Every structure is written in structure tokens, then in C-alpha cells.
């Protein structure tokens, strides 16, 4: 979902997206999803798109009121530069604004963030010029990653830390009652860039004190994840010696460009991995935040190499459901994160779809609010989780997170404290 402070032409949005689906290699965006006997989804692409079988299902709803007067949309506002972190909205209420009631909600797995970035870039390009050339997606008719995991040359680095099959089974049985008993909800948090910049500055000082540190770099996303993890687990008191698995969803396109995915290609599918960093609750809550951010960065550097990706996929191929190895023990808690920072949603320019507005003839049209919606059952099954949308034009960072309702009450209280920035750093 993207929210604009400009009037856009819905027919132009629809027609250009349909036009893109007619371009070579882009037909996948007009595919119909079918579920196979084994539960997996497959794409069925019509031989041609027609008025009775269009490439894109499109709907629009007109309101005769200003957005500030709408009972739900009024909670979405351009807040300007934030001064402190706070919960903006209970975002599940926004689902009705993003989806037609009859629209399918099973778009999960269509492509990863970088694939979506390519799609959005091509769409906005055609909005500016319907005759513009768009790159042909790589591997549109084949699976370039079909051989991934078949030729490992080294073992998975964390092989001795993974759960066995019986531990996974016991773990699921132990967590199932809690999953059924406790309600989980999604909310959006706004974090000021001044806070992240301050935390990163301190983190770099902390890393300088790490003996034999292998890197002096941590990204803003590493800091954001470490900071959010500290908030979440400070609000769920448990044994401080228990392990926590901080899972980073990372793009594999860079490492795979060595042999499977050309670096300059558009790949309209998934090429992501789950990188796991184990820390104890005591380490997360008591050590300087920079130490946790450093561990997250080192995991990315060590486990997102071409050789380690091959080793991880070889293990996943041997599992029952093709899932990645799970690290920790039966008491380990986890927090899954994903980032859309590199998608640059807030920098997209939809001025090609602007309706006539003489007062702003050449100015860009960018969204001031963006949000992705995971299907409810997926979001709740893999909770707690957090999705980082990136940084908006005002410098604010945005987090969409799913937690238990009781945990959210404590998180909101922690964020409302006047010394939140200092206390949680």
C-alpha cells in the first residue's frame, strides 16, 4: 500500500501495468495462482490477455470526503520529521484500504524485495513514457536457481548449532498452545533518523573496543534491528541465559551473481536467505547495543557467501519441508526481520500518473506512507517479526511489527518513556 498527497489517474495506473504484463518476460505478473496437491503454488499464464481474461485485476473506490475525515484513512498522516519513536497506527485496520474484498490475498512468494523494486521501476518508467524500453527479466521461462544446493564445497558454518528433527518436533508442540492462546497483532512504529544516527555513532565506538574485530562497519539497518530486538525482549522477561535467534532476511543476488544470476539482470522471483545470529538474552539487554549490531553484521558477512549459500541450500533440500536449518535449542526464542530499505519505496516517482494539477507541473509524486501486508496467517505463525520499510523523505524510519497484544502494551509504554533513546541504547 502506498499513500500519496496527489491525485493520480487510476486508469493510467491500470493500463500501464497491463501494458507491462504484455512485455517480453513480464507475463508472470498477470499469472493465475494454482495450488498443487502438495500445497505448493504454481503460476498459470494465459496464452494471451483479453478483456475477459485481463492481466491485472483492478478495482477502485471513490470517497466524497477528505482523507482526514475518513474513519480509517485519517490515521495515515504525513507526520513530518519525528522527534521520538512512537506507534503510529494499528495497521491491520488498513487492510480494507489496500484490498478489494474479493481480491486474492495469496500473493506471498511472487518475488522478493529486489524483484518488486524492478517491477515498480518498470511501471513508473512506462507511466512517464509508454514506449519506453524496459529490461527483459532474466530466467522468465526457466529456473536459474534449479541447481542451487547440489554442489556444496564446504559445510554450513553453524552446523553444530542447529536443532535436530526431533528437537524441531518437540519445539513446535511446546509452542503450539501459546500460538493458539495468545492474540497477535500488527502495528507500525515510526523511528526518527536522529535516534538511529546517534545509536550508530555510539555503536561504532563500541565496535572499536571489540578485541580483533573483523569489521568496523554496521549499517543503519543493523542498528535498527538490534535496537528493536532489545525493546521487544526487554518487554518479555524470561531466563537471561536463554538464547535468542535474531534472523535477518538477506538478498542473495550479490553472491549468486558469480555464476547463477547476472549482476545487471532483472530477476522477477525470490533470491533471499535467512541468516541467524544467536545471542543470549543477557548479552542483548546488558551489553552495548553496538555489540549486537556487530554480531548481526558478522553473520551477514560470514553466512551470505556463495559457498555458505550452497551449503545452506543443500541442508534445506534434505529437510521435510525444504526449510532452512534452525539454530539454537528448545528454549530459544526468535525474532525475524526483513528490510525493504534497498527497494527505496519512498523515492518512487509516480508523476507520470498525476492528474492535471497546474500548480505542480514538474514536481515528483512520491508516497509519504508505505506498507506491505503479509497474509494474516503467515504474519502470525512466524511472529514475532518486523519489517523495515526504509526511510521516508522526512528521514523517519518505519517498522511494521507483529507481536502479542500483551507485549505491545509494554512496548508502547517503553517507547513513551522520555528517556527511551538513552535507556535502550
- pLDDT tens sequence across 25-45: 999 998 888 878 776 778 888
What pLDDT was estimated at residue 295?
Answer: 95
Question: Rounded to an integer, what distance in angstroms lies between the CA atom of residue 392 and that of residue 344?
Answer: 9
Write down the pTM of the prediction.
0.92
In order of 94, 186, 341, the CA distances from 74 in angstroms are 10, 18, 26
400 contact partners, CB below 8 Å, separation of at least 6: 91, 186, 187, 188, 189, 371, 372, 386, 387, 389
What pLDDT was estimated at residue 96?
Answer: 79
What pLDDT was estimated at residue 360?
Answer: 66
Contact 215, 303 (CB under 8 A): no
What pLDDT was estimated at residue 319?
Answer: 83
What pLDDT was estimated at residue 423?
Answer: 44
What pLDDT was estimated at residue 421?
Answer: 47
In order of 31, 95, 281, the CA distances from 99 in angstroms are 18, 6, 39
Contact 153, 310 (CB under 8 A): yes
What pLDDT was estimated at residue 391?
Answer: 92
Q: What is the mean pLDDT of the chain?
A: 87
What pLDDT was estimated at residue 422?
Answer: 43
- CB neighbours of residue 268 within 10 Å: 22
Grid cell 554496521 — which residue? 218
Question: Rounded to an integer, what distance in angstroms lies between the CA atom of residue 125 and that of residue 393?
Answer: 21
* Domains located in the chain, CATH noted: 74-423 (3.30.559.10)
Q: Is 168 strand, coil or helix? A: helix
Mean pLDDT in consecutive groups of 10 residues from the start of the chain, 425 residues: 90 95 92 78 86 87 87 83 88 77 58 93 96 92 92 96 86 77 86 93 89 84 96 89 95 95 91 96 95 96 97 90 86 92 93 78 87 63 83 92 91 76 46
What pLDDT was estimated at residue 419?
Answer: 46
Contact 45, 27 (CB under 8 A): yes
Q: Is 117 strand, coil or helix? A: helix
User: At what angle are helices 193-207 and 289-303 packed, to 10 degrees?
Assistant: 80
Amino acid at each position: 500500500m502506498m499513500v500519496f498527497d496527489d491525485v493520480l489517474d487510476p486508469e493510467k495506473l491500470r493500463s500501464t501495468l497491463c501494458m507491462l504484463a504484455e512485455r517480453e518476460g513480464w507475463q508472470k505478473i498477470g499469472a493465475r495462482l494454482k495450488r498443487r496437491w502438495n500445497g505448493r503454488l504454481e503460476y498459470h499464464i494465459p496464452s494471451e490477455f483479453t478483456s475477459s481474461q485481463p492481466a491485472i485485476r483492478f478495482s477502485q473506490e471513490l470517497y466524497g470526503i477528505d482523507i482526514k475525515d475518513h474513519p480509517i484513512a485519517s490515521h495515515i498522516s504525513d507526520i513530518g520529521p519525528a522527534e521520538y519513536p512512537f506507534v503510529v497506527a494499528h495497521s491491520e485496520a488498513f487492510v480494507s484500504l489496500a484490498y478489494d474484498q474479493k481480491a486474492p490475498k495469496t500473493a506471498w512468494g511472487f518475488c522478493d524485495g529486489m524483484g518488486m523494486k524492478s517491477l515498480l521501476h518498470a511501471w513508473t518508467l512506462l507511466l512517464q513514457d509508454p514506449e519506453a524500453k524496459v529490461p527483459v527479466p532474466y530466467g522468465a521461462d526457466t529456473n536459474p536457481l534449479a541447481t542451487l544446493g547440489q554442489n556444496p564445497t564446504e559445510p554450513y558454518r553453524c552446523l553444530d548449532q542447529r536443532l535436530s528433527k526431533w528437537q524441531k518436533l518437540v519445539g513446535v508442540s511446546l509452542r503450539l498452545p501459546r500460538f493458539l492462546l495468545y492474540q497477535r497483532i500488527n502495528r507500525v512504529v515510526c523511528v526518527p533518523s536522529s535516534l538511529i544516527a546517534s545509536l550508530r555513532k555510539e555503536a561504532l565506538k563500541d565496535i572499536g573496543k571489540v578485541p580483533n574485530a573483523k569489521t568496523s562497519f554496521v549499517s543503519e539497518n543493523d542498528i535498527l534491528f538490534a535496537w528493536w530486538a532489545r525493546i521487544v525482549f526487554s518487554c518479555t522477561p524470561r531466563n537471561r541465559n536463554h538464547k535468542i535467534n535474531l534472523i535477518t532476511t538477506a538478498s542473495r543476488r550479490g553472491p549468486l551473481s558469480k555464476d547463477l544470476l547476472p549482476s545487471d539482470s532483472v530477476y522477477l522471483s525470490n533470491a533471499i536467505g535467512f541468516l541467524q545470529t544467536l545471542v543470549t538474552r543477557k548479552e542483548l539487554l546488558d551489553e552495548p547495543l553496538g555489540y549486537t549490531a556487530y554480531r548481526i553484521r558478522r553473520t551477514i558477512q560470514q553466512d551470505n557467501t556463495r559457498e555458505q549459500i550452497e551449503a545452506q541450500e543443500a541442508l534445506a533440500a534434505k529437510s521435510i519441508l525444504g526449510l532452512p536449518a534452525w539454530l539454537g535449542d528448545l528454549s530459544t526464542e526468535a525474532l525475524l526481520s526483513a528490510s525493504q530499505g534497498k527497494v527505496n519505496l519512498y523515492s518512487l516517482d509516480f508523476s507520470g500518473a498525476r492528474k492535471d494539477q497546474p500548480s505542480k507541473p514538474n514536481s515528483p509524486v512520491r508516497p509519504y506512507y508505505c506498507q506491505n501486508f503479509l497474509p494474516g496467517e503467515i504474519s502470525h505463525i512466524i511472529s514475532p517479526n518486523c519489517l523495515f520499510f526504509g526511510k521516508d523523505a522526512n528521514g523517519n524510519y518505519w517498522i511494521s511489527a507483529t507481536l502479542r497484544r500483551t507485549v505491545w502494551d509494554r512496548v508502547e509504554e517503553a517507547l513513551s518513556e522520555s528517556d527511551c533513546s538513552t535507556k535502550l541504547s
